[in-house]
């Protein structure tokens, strides 16, 4: 159960999202109620097409709900104009995607620096340099800062993408299937980095298919056909880590 003394960093109230494609309506999310507290680490799982990425896009202000409310730090984000939403996103939210989404034409350093240069608060070159260097060292990629992304392995590119997401010290990190394109060794390295970030206070909301990684989180939300069908914390008596059941079934 959420701690009533802690205010939610994210709160969704009856959020629905309908896409219209070729005159067909697709209800990607239906009446989602979800509260995420500061410092939580939760995963979202469920079959392909059940609405996981749509949910992250709405939490991260990349897309708007068709109905319902989304609060970030108790601010009703629907009431903000586009510029205010962009500012909130740049200051408080970091994204990590399965496909890394790095720019191949510029160096690792510049990839991480780029979002910082867009910020409204006008960071100085020195501050940007320090933040980029710090973020790259956190993921063990400082020694590759002059490389281009396509000179790196998939695991290294994902670490750079994490550095880019966290360089601005976001309070919320939204992560969409980060290990989908990685082998298990690199996948584990990425998960260790995320666990360390969470220990330092970053709230993490991660979409994952992989039960091994889902069990890293303290809470697991399961979606099916755009609805939440399970919302379990590791403290629930009903909770059984997928890893534990996997081992038990062997």
Ligand X SMILES: Nc1ncnc2c1ncn2[C@@H]1O[C@H](COP(=O)(O)OP(=O)(O)O)[C@@H](O)[C@H]1O
Cβ within 8 Å of residue 67, ≥6 positions away: 14, 15, 16
21 binds, among ligand X, Mg ion, none (CB under 5 to 8 A by kind): ligand X
Q: Which of residues 35-64 bind Mg ion (CB under 5 A)?
A: 52-53
Stretch that binds ligand X, among 21-29, 32-40, 64-72, 181-189 (CB under 6 A): 21-29
Q: Minimal CB distance to Mg ion: which residue?
A: 53
Please give the distance of CA 167 from its chain centroid, rounded to a whole number.
14
**241 is written with which tokens?**
């880590």
- Nearer to ligand X by C-beta: 53 or 138? 53
Q: Are 119 and 86 in contact (CB under 8 A)?
A: no
Helix (H, G, I), strand (E, B) or coil at 89: helix
Q: Are 17 and 28 in contact (CB under 8 A)?
A: yes
| Minimum CB distance to ligand X smaller for 26 or for 64 | 26
> 52 or 144: whose CB is closer to Mg ion?
52
54 vs 179 by CB, closer to ligand X: 54
Residues numbered 35 to 64 that lie near ligand X (CB under 6 A) are 48-54
Q: Which does 149 bind (CB under 5 to 8 A by kind): ligand X, Mg ion, none?
A: none
User: Smallest distance, Å, CB 45 to ligand X?
Assistant: 9
Q: Which of ligand X, Mg ion, none is residue 54 near (CB under 5 to 8 Å by kind)? A: ligand X
- For the bound state, the minimum distance from the C-beta of residue 52 to Mg ion, rounded and expressed in Å, comes to 5
Q: Binding to Mg ion by residue 98, rule CB under 5 A?
A: no
Element (H, E) at 222: strand 219-224
Q: For residue 59, what are its two tokens?
A: 């939490």
Rounded CA-CA distance 126/240 in Å is 48
Nearer to ligand X, 54 or 158 (CB): 54
Strand ranges across the sheet with 24-37: 24-37, 8-21, 67-72, 75-76
User: Distance (Å, rounded) from C-alpha 57 to C-alpha 164?
Assistant: 18
Integer angstrom CA distances of residue 171 from 58, 147, 193, 194, 221: 16, 28, 16, 13, 20
Among 28, 102, 135, 172, binds ligand X (CB under 6 A): 28
User: Which residue of 4, 5, 21, 238 would you call a contact of ligand X, by CB under 6 A?
Assistant: 21
- Considering the complex, state which of residue 40 and residue 177 has its C-beta at the smaller distance from ligand X: 177
Select the binding partner of residue 51 from ligand X, Mg ion, none (C-beta < 5 to 8 A, by kind): ligand X
User: CA geometry: angle at 183 spanning 175 and 215, to 5°?
Assistant: 50
Residues that bind Mg ion (CB under 5 A): 52-53
Residues that bind ligand X (CB under 6 A): 19, 21, 26, 28, 48-54
């Amino acid at each position: 159960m959420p701690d009533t003394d802690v205010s939610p960093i994210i709160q969704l109230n009856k959020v629905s999202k309908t896409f219209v494609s070729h005159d067909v309506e697709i209800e990607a999310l239906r009446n989602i109620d979800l509260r995420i507290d500061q410092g939580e680490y939760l995963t979202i799982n469920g079959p392909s097409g059940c609405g996981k990425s749509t949910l992250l896009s709405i939490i991260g202000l990349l897309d708007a709900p068709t109905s319902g409310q989304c609060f970030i730090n108790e601010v009703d984000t629907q009431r903000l104009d586009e510029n205010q939403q962009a500012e909130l996103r740049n200051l408080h939210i970091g994204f990590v995607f399965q496909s890394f989404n790095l720019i191949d034409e510029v160096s690792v350093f510049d990839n991480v620096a780029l979002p910082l240069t867009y910020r409204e608060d006008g960071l100085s070159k020195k501050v940007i340099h320090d933040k980029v260097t710090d973020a790259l060292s956190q993921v063990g990629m400082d020694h590759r800062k002059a490389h281009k992304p396509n000179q790196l392995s998939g695991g290294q590119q994902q670490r750079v993408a994490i550095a880019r997401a966290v360089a601005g010290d976001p309070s919320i990190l939204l992560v969409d299937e980060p290990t989908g394109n990685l082998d298990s060794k690199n996948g584990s390295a990425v998960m260790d980095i995320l666990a360390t970030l969470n220990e330092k206070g970053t709230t993490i909301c991660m979409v994952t298919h992989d039960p091994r990684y889902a069990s890293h989180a303290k809470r697991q939300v399961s979606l099916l056909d755009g609805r939440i069908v399970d919302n379990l914390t590791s403290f629930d008596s009903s909770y059984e880590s997928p890893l534990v059941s996997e081992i038990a079934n062997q």
